[in-house]
């Protein structure tokens, strides 16, 4: 059943920038690109918030300052929870926390949302609790403490695990795309400007989806191409597609007054 995303009041959608990494280079970010390419390719880290008169859905939980220090190279601006508060959103009262996927930079602040129902695709949780999580680069890409946190919360009945498309609330739906991770999901939000899509890591940079160029971390390449098509089909216009890690997000959307460099309003 397709999500009934057209009912209910529209949401305001915000992208919240909480960290930045200057030293990254192009060769590490684009699939099939010369791995030795040293062209600079700065990357930003975001969470997103969809806010209506009655509800807040937060998409992703960032990483913590401790994680930034442990991993090095990452410039932590400030906790996304603080910026949410500046937007009038009390993390402790947020009703839904959607996790696009379980890479470490999307799961760090889950404990700051104690009232939230957590929404993660079944395939994603299965992957990170399954036989492949320890192989290759995967252990570096997720935080086992965060995965353990989710397992505990699942035992407490607080985790919704859709297997595909799912309506979180009228006007907010998740859509399984995979590609970058097995259970990657994107989030479609009904705004006053039309349906926007938080692509998260389905398109780290606009150059991925706009240039049909997959990102460098891939679990299924055909699914990654299909994800580009799905995101385009779900969004009412190209302007309403929000890339997951692109510094251009700050240029493409207006800053929230007083939160320049920290938050933009997508629609
Ligand atoms: Zn990722």
Q: What is the DSSP letter of 29?
A: T
Residue 7 confidence (pLDDT): 64
**Residues belonging to the chain:** 267
Distance 133 CA to ligand 1 centre (A): 14
> What number of H helices and E strands is found in the chain?
8, 13
Kindly give the distance from the C-alpha atom of residue 54 to the centroid of ligand 1, in angstroms, as a whole number: 30
Residue 100 CA to ligand 1 centre (angstroms): 9
Instruction: Please list the alpha-helical segments (H only) found in the chain.
Output: 65-71, 80-86, 122-128, 138-141, 144-155, 206-211, 221-234, 249-252
Cα–Cα distance, 101 to 182 (Å, whole number): 9
Q: At 228, which helix (H) or strand (E)?
A: helix 221-234
2 band by pLDDT with thresholds 50, 70 and 90: very low
Average pLDDT over residues 41-45: 94
Task: Compute the distance from residue 132 Cα to the ligand 1 centre, in Å.
Answer: 16
How many angstroms separate the alpha carbon of residue 142 from the centre of ligand 1?
9
Distances (CA, A) of 259 to 7, 86, 208, 215: 30, 8, 27, 29
174 contacts 2 by C-beta, under 8 angstroms: no
- Residue 13 reports pLDDT greater than 50: yes
**CB burial class (10 A; 0-12, 13-18, 19+) of residue 193?**
middle
Phi-psi region of 93 (alpha: psi -120 to 50; beta: other; left: phi over 0): alpha
Q: How far is CA 126 from CA 92, 129, 224, in A?
A: 27, 5, 19
Domains of the chain, first to last: 12-265 (3.60.15.10)
Confidence check: pLDDT of 262 > 90: yes
Is there a contact between 118 and 158 (Cβ–Cβ < 8 Å)? yes
Confidence of residue 5 (pLDDT cuts 50, 70, 90): very low
- Bridge partners of 197, per DSSP, are 188, 241
Give the distance (Å) from ligand 1 centre to CA of residue 190. Answer: 24
CA 180 to ligand 1 centroid distance, Å: 7
For the residues 197-216, what does the mean pLDDT come to?
Answer: 96
- Distance from the alpha carbon of residue 151 to the mean position of ligand 1, in angstroms: 20
Mean pLDDT of 230-251: 98
Q: What's the CA-to-centroid distance between 109 and ligand 1, angstroms?
A: 16
Q: Which residues on neighbouring strands pair with residue 243, listed in sequence order?
A: 200
Which is it for strands 75-76 and 172-176: parallel, antiparallel or unpaired? unpaired
Query: What is the CA(201)–ligand 1 centre distance, in A?
Result: 5
- Centre of ligand 1 to C-alpha 41, Å, is 16
């Amino acid at each position: 059943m397709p999500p009934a995303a057209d009912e209910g009041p529209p949401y305001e959608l915000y992208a919240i920038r909480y960290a930045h990494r200057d030293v990254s280079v192009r060769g590490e970010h684009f699939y099939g690109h010369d791995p030795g390419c040293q062209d600079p390719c700065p990357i930003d880290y975001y969470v997103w918030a969809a806010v209506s008169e009655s509800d807040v859905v937060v998409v992703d939980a960032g990483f913590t300052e401790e994680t930034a220090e442990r991993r090095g190279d990452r410039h932590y601006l400030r906790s996304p929870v603080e910026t949410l508060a500046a937007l009038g959103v009390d993390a402790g009262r947020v009703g839904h926390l959607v996790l696009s996927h379980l890479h470490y930079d999307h799961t760090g602040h889950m404990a700051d949302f104690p009232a939230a129902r957590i929404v993660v695709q079944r395939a994603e949780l299965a992957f990170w609790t399954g036989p492949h999580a320890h192989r290759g680069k995967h252990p570096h890409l997720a935080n086992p403490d965060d995965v353990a946190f989710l397992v505990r919360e699942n035992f407490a009945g607080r985790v919704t695990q859709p297997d595909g498309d799912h309506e979180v609330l009228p006007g907010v739906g998740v859509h399984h795309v995979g590609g970058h991770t097995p259970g990657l999901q994107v989030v479609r939000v009904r705004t006053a400007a039309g349906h926007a899509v938080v692509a998260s890591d389905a398109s780290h940079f606009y150059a991925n989806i706009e240039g049909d160029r997959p990102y460098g971390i891939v679990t299924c390449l055909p699914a990654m191409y299909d994800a580009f098509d799905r995101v385009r089909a779900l969004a009412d216009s190209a302007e309403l597609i929000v890339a997951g890690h692109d510094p251009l997000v700050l240029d493409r959307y207006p800053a929230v007054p007083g939160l320049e460099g920290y938050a933009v309003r997508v629609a």
